[in-house]
Amino acid sequence: MISCRAKNIPPFIVMEILERAIAMERCGKDIVHMEVGEPDFDTPECIKEAAARALAQGETHYTHSMGILELRQAIARHYRDKYGVEVDPERVVVTNGTSPALMLIFASMLDPGDEVILSNPGYSCYPNIVEFVEGKPVEVRVHEEDGFQYHYDEILPLISGRTKAILINSPSNPTGNLLKDRAMREISSLARKGLYIVSDEIYHGLVYKGKEHSILEYTDHAFVINGFSKLYAMTGWRLGYLIAPEEFVRPIQKMQQNLFISANSFVQRAGIAALTQAGDEVSEMVRTYDQRRRYLIPKLREIGFRIAVEPEGAFYILAGAQHFSRDSYAFAMELLENASVAVTPGIDFGSGGEGYIRFSYTMDLEHLKKGVERLGRYLEKRSRG
C-alpha cells in the first residue's frame, strides 16, 4: 500500500537520537544535548516584533508565490552588500525553510537517473532528497587531513553524461569547515562543462576564522540556497529562499504554486527585519558560538577525540572516534545510555562519517562543560575496562 518512495526514504538519525534522549528525560534522566543543530538562542526581539506587527496589521493571507517583493529585494541587497554580486529579485524565491528550497531545486533539475555530486560526509538530507525525486547521488569522499576539502581531481572522474549538478555546503554540516577560495574556484569552473553548482549557504555568517564565499562570486550557473534558521535563530519560523538561474525561475514558481502556494506571510516580514535590523544580536550570537568552539575543541581533544583540522564555521565539530569504536551509531547510543550525553553518530552523514561523532555547540557553556565532564569520566572508566 505504501509507496516505495515513502518506504525507502531513510530516517534522519539525529532526530532518532533526540527522540531517545527525550524519552530518557521523561523517565527523569538529565541529558546533555550536543546532538541537534538548532540554536539555543531565542529569536532576536526586533524580528519577533516585525512578525507581531505584520499579524496585527492583518498580514495573514497568501503572498505572491515567489514571496513578497520587499523581502526578495532585501535578499538581493544582502547579497550585493555582503558579496558584491548583483541579484535580480526576480530570481529569488522565498520558501518555508531551506529544505523545501532543496526539494524545489532538485525537482526542477533532475529527471529520473540524473546525477548530483555530493560530498561524503555531508548533510544527510541531500542524498535523500535527490533520491526522493528519482535522481542519483554520486558521492565524493572528502578527508579530514585537509579539512574535508573537495578535490577537483576526485570530482572529475565522477562526472558522467548524466551529471547535472555538484552541491557544495560551506561552512559545512557536519564538518564545520570552509571551502577554500581555490576549491570554490575549481568547482565553479565545472559550470563551464554545463553543470550547475548548488550552494547551500545556510551557515553563512557563522564563520569564526577566514571568510565564506557565495558561489555567485564565481559563477551565475548556480543555485543559492539560504535561510534564516541558523544565523537568526529562527528554526521554528520556517523561512528560507533560493536564488535560481533565470531559466529555472518559472518552473520553480509553478512547483511552488502547486506544492506550497507561498511562504507564511507575516514570517516573511520577520525575514526583512532579520536582514536589516538584527545585526547586533547576530554579532553577539556569533561571538558566543566562537567562545564555545574555542572551549570545546581543546577539551574534546583532551578527553581523547581526534580533531585534525579545527572547524572554522557553522556550530559543529566532527571529531574522530575510531579508536573508541568503529560503529558510530552504537557508540553514540552507548554515550547516551552511560554518560547521559546526546551526540550525533557520523554515520548519519554518510559512510565517510563512520567512526566520527558530531558535536553541536548550540547549548550554553555551562551545559557544554557538564557534557565534556561526563564524557571524560565515562571514557576514562571505559578505557580501564
Binding site for ligand PMP (CB under 6 A): 37, 97-99, 123, 169, 173, 200, 202, 227, 229, 235, 240
Which element (helix H / strand E) includes 335?
helix 328-339
Min CB(99)–ligand PMP separation in Å = 4
Nearer to ligand PMP, 173 or 256 (CB): 173
Nearer to ligand PMP, 319 or 339 (CB): 319
Nearer to ligand PMP, 50 or 314 (CB): 314
Nearer to ligand PMP, 219 or 235 (CB): 235
Min CB(240)–ligand PMP separation in Å = 4
Min CB(232)–ligand PMP separation in Å = 11
Q: Which residues contact 185 (CB under 8 A, 6 or more apart)?
A: 218
Question: What does 85-154 look like in DSSP terms, one character per residue?
Answer: ----GGGEEEESSHHHHHHHHHHHH--TT-EEEEEES--THHHHHHHHTT-EEEEEE--GGGTS---HHH
Pairing of strands 115-120, 163-169: parallel
Min CB(193)–ligand PMP separation in Å = 25
Nearer to ligand PMP, 108 or 172 (CB): 172
Nearer to ligand PMP, 314 or 319 (CB): 314
Which residue's C-beta sits nearest to ligand PMP? 97
**CB 239 within 8 Å of CB 205:** no
Min CB(96)–ligand PMP separation in Å = 8
Instruction: Find the distance separating the first CA and the last CA of the chain, reported in whole Å.
Output: 49
Residue 209's Cβ-side half-sphere holds a number of Cα atoms within 13 Å equal to 12
Min CB(178)–ligand PMP separation in Å = 13
Nearer to ligand PMP, 173 or 268 (CB): 173
The length of the chain, given as a count of residues: 385
Rounded CA separation 212/178 (Å): 7
Nearest to 199 by CA among 212, 209, 208: 212
Residue 146's Cβ-side half-sphere holds a number of Cα atoms within 13 Å equal to 9
Min CB(106)–ligand PMP separation in Å = 13
Rounded CA separation 183/352 (Å): 19
